[in-house]
Amino acid sequence: MKLFSMNKNNIICILFLFSFLLCYPELPDFNNFKWNKIREDKISIEYYKDNDITWCKSYMVTKYSIKEIADILEDKANYPNVFKRITETILYSKDIVHIKLDMPFPWSGRDYIVKYTEFSEDNIKEYMWANYDELNIPVEEDYVRLHRAAGKWRLIELEDGRTQVEYIWNGELLGDFPSWALKIAWKEQGNEVLNWLIDYLDNK
């Protein structure tokens, strides 16, 4: 006795949905986090430990439109000109990007390979990234690979034409970076990244 039957179109739809779920970033629901504040100012910075990952968030309201900011974030090849700690971005495809980071002396540089996905709804745009190891790119000397790199940009268009920018990332640094200095590093990164983004827009 047949319990169910599927035609060819149903099978194709299921396979498509399954492949989409496999490539979609496995990010937690950040809205449910009870964030702990590190800094509350023009740029606010928070963190929250979810299982064994500490997620960090920095956010601010800018005078720029959501389109102006989205144009910068979508141009991944230009990231080294925007974010001063990024020394190189290598695009293996439109959505798969290898990012190399400079670290303060005496620590080795960090790098990670991630796959981006985008989401838009009404007045919100999101750019999510999650670790992508399938290319088997070797780790270069003097670099530490961040194998669980993940996060997202969240842009919220406000009624007056301004935009709230949220930057969320996995705060893991690995290597010999001391645990006691992590909060200092998160505060520095959250502040730097948003300031560099705004400086770039100011100077365009």
How far apart, in Å, are the Cα atoms of 58 and each of 18, 178, 179, 187? 33, 22, 20, 8
Split into its structural domains, the chain has a count of 1
Residue 38 sits in a domain of what CATH number?
Answer: 3.30.530.20
Would you give the DSSP letter of residue 203? T
Q: Quick one: pLDDT at residue 12? A: 38
Structure tokens at 97: 């990007």
Q: Does residue 146 contact residue 111 with C-beta atoms inside 8 Å?
A: yes
Question: Would 16 be classed as within a structural domain?
Answer: no
Q: Quick one: pLDDT at residue 61? A: 98
Question: Would 43 be classed as within a structural domain?
Answer: yes
Instruction: Give the residue ranges of the chain where pLDDT is below 50.
Output: 1-6, 8-25
Q: Quick one: pLDDT at residue 25? A: 46
Q: Quick one: pLDDT at residue 112? A: 98
- The letter for the amino acid at 161 is G
Structure tokens at 105: 């002396």
Question: Would 4 be classed as within a structural domain?
Answer: no
What domain range is 38 assigned to? 34-202
Q: Quick one: pLDDT at residue 105? A: 85
Angle 35-39-43 (CA atoms, 0-180°, nearest 5)? 100
- The letter for the amino acid at 38 is I
Element (H, E) at 72: helix 66-74
Question: Would 15 be classed as within a structural domain?
Answer: no
Q: Quick one: pLDDT at residue 18? A: 39
Question: Would 3 be classed as within a structural domain?
Answer: no
Q: Does residue 72 contact residue 83 with C-beta atoms inside 8 Å?
A: no
Strand partners, 113: 98
Q: At how many degrees (to 10) do helices 66-74 and 182-202 cross?
A: 110
Q: Quick one: pLDDT at residue 26? A: 72
Any residues with CB less than 8 A from the CB of 95 and at least 6 apart, and which?
Answer: 115, 116, 117
Q: Quick one: pLDDT at residue 64? A: 97
Question: Would 17 be classed as within a structural domain?
Answer: no
d(CA 96, CA 106): 29
Question: Would 189 be classed as within a structural domain?
Answer: yes
Q: What is the pLDDT of residues 75-113, one digit of tens each?
A: 999 999 999 999 999 999 999 999 999 998 889 999 999
Bond from prior residue into 104 cis (ω within 30 degrees of 0): no
68 backbone dihedrals φ, ψ, rounded to 5°: -60, -40
Question: Would 135 be classed as within a structural domain?
Answer: yes
d(CA 198, CA 192): 10
What b/e sequence results for 65-75 when a residue is b if at least 16 CB atoms lie within 10 Å of its CB, and e otherwise?
ebeebbebbee
pTM of the model: 0.85
